[in-house]
């Protein structure tokens, strides 16, 4: 496994990452979410009226067209930017929404989840970030929950035939592949020898909720199409713990006020 260690001191690395991102921000203390808008003039949108994440509730029935997924094995690089673990995509994977093509740029993770569904938080959420030709963004969000512990639990399916199945929390295979090369130090970057198709960490059923929101990190730009998958994907407890231990602190922005927005389903 190849890791890029650019500087010897953690502080130096941290500064280099912040410099890359334009402003110094984090998830706690003086640079935490409450102060994002004040940290830089570029972050004015962080105090806007259409911010993410939200608690998705009070759904409005709508005829939402299915999202057309066209994903290929295109994740070629994994980075630890100090805020999340992110897989960068090469061109060639996209979704079709509103009759427009949005190219998949990158996929990253938050623990615990940023969005809530009907008041429920999940231990892990992935964001699939896409952009169309005009630079408009569409984010597909997927929730992950911990499976049932794989010890000592049996569910009896059919007593007459004496059949039982064991409910297990086997790790998600693709997530296992990703986590095995997760750079543990800030600024770490790893070029994947074999590109990954992240369609494997989407739920099979692509029914979704939809609302208009923003980036959940500075500069919090609005006008983002949020497409939140209704079905939740099961992962193992260790997979959730492994991610959290690399990030050292929760990387979820608190819930934002929904204001006049509608959540469609």
Cβ-based nearer residue to Zn ion, 53 or 187: 53
Give the span between the Cα atoms of 80 and 5, in whole angstroms: 11
Cβ-based nearer residue to Zn ion, 107 or 186: 107
Q: Which stretch binds Zn ion (CB under 5 A): 119-127, 142-150, 204-212, 246-254?
A: 119-127
CB of 264 to Zn ion, least distance (A): 21
* Known catalytic residue at 127: no
**Is 253 one of the binding residues for Zn ion (CB under 5 A)?**
no
Residue in 76, 83, 116, 127 annotated catalytic = 83
Cβ-based nearer residue to Zn ion, 116 or 127: 127
**Is 225 one of the binding residues for Zn ion (CB under 5 A)?**
no
Q: Which stretch binds Zn ion (CB under 5 A): 70-78, 93-101, 120-128, 244-252?
A: 120-128
Residue ranges of alpha helices (H) inside the chain are 10-21, 36-39, 173-179, 237-247
CA distance readout (Å), 106 to 64, 76, 85, 116, 198: 24, 10, 10, 22, 10
**Is 127 one of the binding residues for Zn ion (CB under 5 A)?**
yes
Pull the structure tokens for residue 118: 């009907």
Q: Which stretch binds Zn ion (CB under 5 A): 96-104, 123-131, 166-174, 205-213?
A: 123-131
What is the full DSSP assignment across 113-136?
-SSEETTB--SEEEEEEEE-TT--
Looking at residue 20, what DSSP letter applies?
H
CB of 109 to Zn ion, least distance (A): 8
| Size of residue set near Zn ion by CB under 5 A | 1
Give the span between the Cα atoms of 125 and 233, in whole angstroms: 10
CB of 84 to Zn ion, least distance (A): 7
Q: How far apart are the first and last CA of the chain?
A: 43
**Is 208 one of the binding residues for Zn ion (CB under 5 A)?**
no
Number of neighbouring beta carbons within 10 Å of residue 127? 23
Binding-site ranges for Zn ion (CB under 5 A): 127
Catalytic residue numbers? 83
């Amino acid at each position: 496994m190849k890791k890029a260690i650019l500087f010897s001191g953690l502080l130096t690395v941290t500064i280099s990452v912040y410099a890359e991102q334009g402003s110094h921000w984090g998830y706690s203390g003086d640079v935490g979410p409450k102060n994002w808008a004040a940290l830089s003039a570029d972050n004015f949108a962080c105090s806007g009226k259409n911010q993410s994440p939200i608690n998705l509730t009070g759904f409005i029935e709508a005829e939402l067209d299915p999202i057309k997924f066209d994903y290929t094995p295109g994740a070629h690089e994994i980075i630890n930017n100090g805020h999340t673990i992110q897989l960068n995509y090469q061109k060639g994977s996209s979704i079709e929404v509103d009759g427009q093509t949005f190219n998949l740029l990158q996929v990253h993770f938050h623990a615990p989840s940023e969005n809530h569904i009907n008041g429920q938080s999940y231990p892990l959420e992935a964001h699939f970030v896409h952009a169309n030709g005009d630079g408009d963004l569409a984010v597909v969000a997927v929730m992950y929950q911990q499976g049932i512990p794989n010890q000592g639990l049996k569910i009896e399916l059919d007593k007459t035939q004496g059949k039982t199945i064991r409910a297990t929390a086997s790790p998600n295979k693709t997530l296992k592949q990703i986590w095995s090369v997760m750079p543990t130090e800030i600024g770490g970057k790893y070029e994947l020898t074999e590109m990954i198709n992240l369609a494997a960490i989407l739920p099979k059923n692509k029914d979704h909720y939809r609302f208009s929101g923003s980036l959940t990190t500075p500069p919090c730009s609005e006008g983002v199409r949020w497409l939140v998958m209704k079905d939740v994907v099961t992962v193992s407890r260790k997979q959730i713990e492994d991610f959290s231990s690399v990030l050292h602190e929760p990387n979820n922005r608190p819930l934002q006020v929904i204001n006049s927005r509608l959540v469609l389903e």
